[in-house]
Amino acid sequence: METHKLIFRTKENGSNKSLLNKGLIPGIVYGKGTKSAMIACNDQVLNKLMQSKGFYTKIISIEINGKTEKVLPKSLQYHPITDKVIHFDLLRVQDNTKVTVEVPVDFLNQDICPGLKKGGVLNVIRRTIELVCFAKDIPELLQCDLSEIDIGDSLKISNIQLPADVQLTITDRDFVVATIVAPTIEVEETKPEEAGEDAEGVEGEEGEREGAESTEGEKIEDKKEEGSTATKEVKQEKKEDKK
């Protein structure tokens, strides 16, 4: 196990802000029956540890002022804007120290899962499972086999085999870890055929109106022509009477 050197932090080291500007991340290490210590870690060292698989489930060896201790990462605090780590907490442990940890779940055989091959979607309910165990027995991952899971099936905690001497914090029910759900199908709201029929109906009504208007116009013209002819005949009669 690699040992990482950390700095014992005092007021002489300056404020947390000045430490961050120097590339050092402030933190604290504590444990049952021991005195808490203010510490600082090089940001590159901490980032490397964070990127390793199972960061919160691995025992780390640290050295402070020449003294080596085993610790377990407990929490990280991030800057609200830059999203960089600005503080960390470590818990002192021994092999027989009982701890509560969040262990990630690894879903195996997704490439041959019947439900996923049919187009189903893996709906993860719990990405981590809370366990209680001795520090030396912390599992890095919990494995969940998907090789026989079909659409509509649920994966429960009883489907995952826990290592020896490891217990669940939730013991009153067989809770669901993940499900395989059917794919979502989008339905069109408006059918093109209905829209076309509506357009034809409107055009038909407009055509009828135009036809009616044309007929009425022809009738009016006919009446005008009849009136004009009658007037001409009356004038002609008057001319003959004068003669």
pLDDT at 105: 94
pLDDT higher at 197 or 149: 149
C-alpha–C-alpha distance, residues 173 and 175, integer Å: 6
pLDDT at 187: 64
For the stretch 151-195, pLDDT in tens is: 999 999 999 999 989 999 999 999 999 999 998 876 666 655 655
C-alpha–C-alpha distance, residues 5 and 89, integer Å: 15
pLDDT higher at 111 or 220: 111
What six digits make up the tokens of 209? 């109106």
Give me the domains of the chain, ranges plus CATH numbers: 3-93 (2.40.240.10), 99-181 (2.170.120.20)
For the stretch 74-133, pLDDT in tens is: 999 999 999 999 999 999 999 889 999 999 999 999 999 999 999 999 999 999 999 999
Per DSSP, the three-state class of 13 is helix
For the stretch 1-26, pLDDT in tens is: 789 999 999 888 888 899 999 999 99
Contacts 24+ apart (CB under 8 A), 220-228: none
For the stretch 41-56, pLDDT in tens is: 999 999 999 988 888 9
C-alpha–C-alpha distance, residues 10 and 216, integer Å: 103
**In the predicted structure, residue 233 carries a pLDDT above the cut 90:** no
Q: How, if at all, do strands 24-30 and 67-78 pair?
A: unpaired
